Chains A and B, each alone.
Chain A
Amino acid sequence: MMTYCRNFTIYIFQSKFTTEKSFNPFILSCLELCGCPEILGFAHSQQCVCFQFLTELTRLFQKCRSNGSILITLKKYDGRTKPVPRKGYSESFEPVDNKCLLRASGGKRKISTVAYSNLLRAHMDGLKKKDKKSKKTKATQ
């Protein structure tokens, strides 16, 4: 399921941002914010997905302004792609990774990504910025 979700995310974005130049200013500001200009090279597809996640998250926040709620879920993910076998069945699965699965949903739209430890900062910056912004506007209303 996870791999499916990841591919799905990539798919959404590939249809919208085909080239690096067409990335919107939000992502670029995110990149500046987390101070990692090397990510601008988009050498690693996973890094791409993470920023795609951020843009989609922004979109979700904007969409759910008037009504509806946003849910952001965090879960530990160890790289498992098959379900846990029932008791009595032998299993050769070794947890390989220490990753964190990030999901966000608002209404019908669901997005997900797998965060690597070195990219967490970027994520949290994005979340913080978004949350604060939303809260601030709420306070001024």
Chain B
Amino acid sequence: MPYFQTWEEFARAAEKLYLTDPMKVRVVLKYRHCDGNLCMKVTDDAVCLQYKTDQAQDVKKLEKLQGKLMRLMVSKETHSGPMETD
């Protein structure tokens, strides 16, 4: 899957993907110090969304999204478990 060009697009797609099936989605943050880049991947093993950056200011944005998804993961109001229905 190609990398997303804009952050807004990526963030929206990532959240949408998470909400379709919360139990399947994982969020991977990859940091390479030697190459100086940071990559975020949101995937459910069928769809894969990626965003890559080498800017320090993007860390904040990435972290915000990560926090948002984390909050969704631990919130009590789960969307009627898609895992049980199929």
A residues touching B (Cβ–Cβ < 8 Å)?
A: 61, 64-76, 78, 84, 95, 98-100, 115-117, 120, 124, 127-128, 131-132, 134-136, 138-139
Contact = CB atoms under 8 A, between A and B. Distances in A.
Given A100-B74, A124-B63, A124-B70, A135 B30 contact: no
B31 A66 contact: no
Interface in B54-86: 56, 59, 63, 66-67, 69-71, 73-76, 78, 81, 83
B33 A73 contact: no
Given A72-B29, A84-B83, A117-B74, A67 B34 contact: yes
Given A74-B27, A75-B73, 4 more contacts: A116-B74, A120-B74, A124-B67, A127-B63
Nearest to A128: B63
A135 B58 CA distance: 10
Contacts of B78: 95, 98
Contact of B22 (A76, A84, A120): A76
A73 B71 CA distance: 15
Interface of B: 22-23, 25-34, 36, 38, 56, 59, 63, 66-67, 69-71, 73-76, 78, 81, 83
A131 B63 contact: yes
Contact of A74 (B33, B34, B70): B70
B73 A76 contact: yes
Nearest to A62: B33
B36 A98 contact: no
B56 A136 contact: yes
B57 to A, nearest CB: 9
Given A72-B28, A124-B67, A138 B33 contact: yes
Contacts of B59: 128, 131-132, 135
Contacts of B70: 74, 100, 115, 120, 124
22 contacts: A66-B33, A68-B34, A69-B31, A69-B32, A71-B28, A71-B29, A71-B31, A72-B29, A73-B26, A73-B27, A73-B29, A74-B73, A76-B73, A95-B81, A115-B74, A124-B63, A127-B63, A128-B63, A131-B31, A131-B38, A135-B59, A136-B56
